[in-house]
Amino acid sequence: MAPTKYADRSIPKISLHDFESRVDEITAQLVHAAETDGFFGLINHGISEEEIENMFETSAAFFALPDSEKAKVPFTTKNAGWEKNAQVRPSTGQPDQKESYQMQFGANMDGLWLPDSVLPSFKTTALAFMHKAQAVSEKLMLCFARGLGFPDSYFIDAHDVSRPESQTVLRLLHYFEVDRSVPVPDNYYRAGAHVDWDFVTLLFQRAGQSGLEICPGRETTTAFAIGDTWTKVDPAPGEIVCNIGDLLMSWSDDRFKSTFHRVKTPCDPEVDYYGPRYSMAFFNQPCTDACIQGPLKKYPMITGKEFTERAMQRNFAALKAKREAMEAVRQDASVALAVS
Ligand SMILES: O=C(O)CCC(=O)C(=O)O
Ligand SMILES: [Fe+2]
């Protein structure tokens, strides 16, 4: 695999302390980060390190269950449930080396919670954490609305998690331990390069479990930023790493940048972390009936349901193109072998 080019770029760290009295200052910082890097770290956000660690322990308890138990809550087309080695990224054409479990607040989760007899208090703990993440997200939504000239509650109303139309997701992720003695195959990522298609993502990482890499600012010149310059974002205790998603990019008429990121597979015993990696991503998704259009009306208005469907279709089309390209390379290679 061609060696990745790296640069030590720092992402802005934004503190939410004294939110009510500092809201305009925070808005300016968030808007600047969204217009440039598309990534920022949040501190003093109101979720304690203990609460985050408690949710990580809850997540580890879920993933420690036998696969036969987790398979009772399988991933569905409603973007909820458990999958293992099943998410193929268009950037790599290969499945991510991980398992994940996606939870939502509303009707899309019907039948997808394990009973308390299997995992005591899991649902209560997860929902309490999801409401905490939602409260942080609503602060960001207020600021982004103000920055774009919308009423303060505009994005908050469009992402109302108390409504059955809610599509917001907390995704628990577990990347498997990697064997140091086996060389990393080409195109093998814990999570291949991608942009998120939500409004804004809140990513929780666990101290010491590095691997996240970002390519800030949409300054990419190559497909999926592979070949561009990447920056490592190591987990800082208690910090939430946030990135703008495609939804906010289009809802801001492309003023705010959704940004490529990935999770590298460890390959350098000197610096990389080979153990199991746990992370949690809170994806703010619009209600299915939300009407999405930026202040400059650059794109036609669409609903939250249509936006989600189109994002999934784009992903499937890119994936199909990637697989066809890989198949053509394989056929060329076998022809070359046959004639040599
Ligand atoms: O696990 C991580 O650090 C990143 C996960 C991610 O980017 C995603 O699930 O969209
Ligand atoms: Fe992501």
* CATH number, position 101: 2.60.120.330
Which amino acid is located at 311 in the chain? A
Q: What is the pLDDT of residue 331?
A: 78
For residue 83, the CA-to-ligand 2 centroid distance in Å is 16
Cα separation of 340 and 328, whole Å?
A: 18
% of the chain exceeding 70 in pLDDT: 94
Average pLDDT of the segment spanning 136-148: 98
pTM above 0.90, yes or no: yes
Average pLDDT of the segment spanning 288-299: 96
Q: What is the pLDDT of residue 60?
A: 98
What is the pLDDT confidence band of residue 48, given thresholds at 50, 70 and 90? very high
Q: What is the pLDDT of residue 250?
A: 94
Q: What is the pLDDT of residue 220?
A: 62
**Number of domains the chain contains:** 1
Average pLDDT of the segment spanning 37-59: 97
* Range of 14-23, 32-41, 189-198, 330-339 with top mean pLDDT: 14-23
Residue 264 has pLDDT above 80, yes or no: yes
Pocket test for ligand 1, best of 103, 173, 189 (most atoms within 8 A of CB): 173
The whole-angstrom distance between residue 144's C-alpha and the CA centroid of its chain comes to 19
Angle at which helix 122-148 crosses helix 19-35, to 10 degrees, equals 80
Residue 144 has pLDDT above 70, yes or no: yes
pLDDT tens-digit map of 321-332: 877 887 887 777
pLDDT tens-digit map of 51-78: 999 999 999 999 999 999 999 999 988 8
Q: How is 209-268 classified by DSSP, letter by letter?
A: ---EEEEGGG---SGGGTTSEEEE----TT-EEEEE-HHHHHHTTT-S---EEEEPPP--
Residue 1 has pLDDT above 60, yes or no: no
Looking only at Cα atoms, what is the longest distance across the chain? Answer: 73
For residue 117, the CA-to-ligand 2 centroid distance in Å is 32
Q: What is the pLDDT of residue 337?
A: 58
Q: Strand locations in 158-218, DSSP E?
A: 169-175, 191-194, 200-205, 212-215
Q: What is the pLDDT of residue 148?
A: 97
Q: What is the pLDDT of residue 208?
A: 94
For residue 205, the CA-to-ligand 1 centroid distance in Å is 9
What is the pLDDT confidence band of residue 302, given thresholds at 50, 70 and 90? very high
Cα separation of 90 and 193, whole Å?
A: 9
Residue scoring higher pLDDT (106 or 111): 111
For residue 269, the CA-to-ligand 2 centroid distance in Å is 25
Q: For all residues of the chain together, what is the average pLDDT?
A: 91
Pocket test for ligand 1, best of 195, 261, 284, 315 (most atoms within 8 A of CB): 261
* Atom in ligand 1 nearest the alpha carbon of residue 205: 3
Q: What is the pLDDT of residue 186?
A: 72
Helix (H, G, I), strand (E, B) or coil at 146: helix
For residue 166, the CA-to-ligand 2 centroid distance in Å is 20
Q: For the chain, give percent helix, strand, coil, nearest 5.
A: 35, 20, 45
For residue 277, the CA-to-ligand 2 centroid distance in Å is 15
Residue 25 has pLDDT above 90, yes or no: yes
* Atom in ligand 1 nearest the alpha carbon of residue 171: 9
Q: What is the pLDDT of residue 170?
A: 98
Average pLDDT of the segment spanning 88-92: 81
What is the pLDDT confidence band of residue 132, given thresholds at 50, 70 and 90? very high
Q: What is the pLDDT of residue 286?
A: 96
DSSP state of 74: B
* Atom in ligand 1 nearest the alpha carbon of residue 283: 10
Which protein residues touch ligand 1 with a CB less than 6 Å away?
A: 171, 173, 191, 196, 203, 205, 212, 261, 263, 279, 281
Q: What is the pLDDT of residue 215?
A: 87
Whose C-alpha lies nearest to ligand 1, atom 9?
281
> Which tokens belong to 231?
């920056």
pLDDT tens-digit map of 180-201: 888 877 777 898 899 999 999 9
Q: What is the pLDDT of residue 26?
A: 98
Ligand nearest to the CA of 246: 2
User: Which residue segment(s) compose the domain that 216 sits in?
Assistant: 5-339
Closest CA to 39 of 212, 289, 210: 212
Q: How far is CA 199 from CA 43, 116, 147, 246, 299, in A?
A: 20, 32, 15, 7, 16
Q: What is the pLDDT of residue 339?
A: 57
Q: What is the pLDDT of residue 334?
A: 66
Residue 123 has pLDDT above 90, yes or no: yes
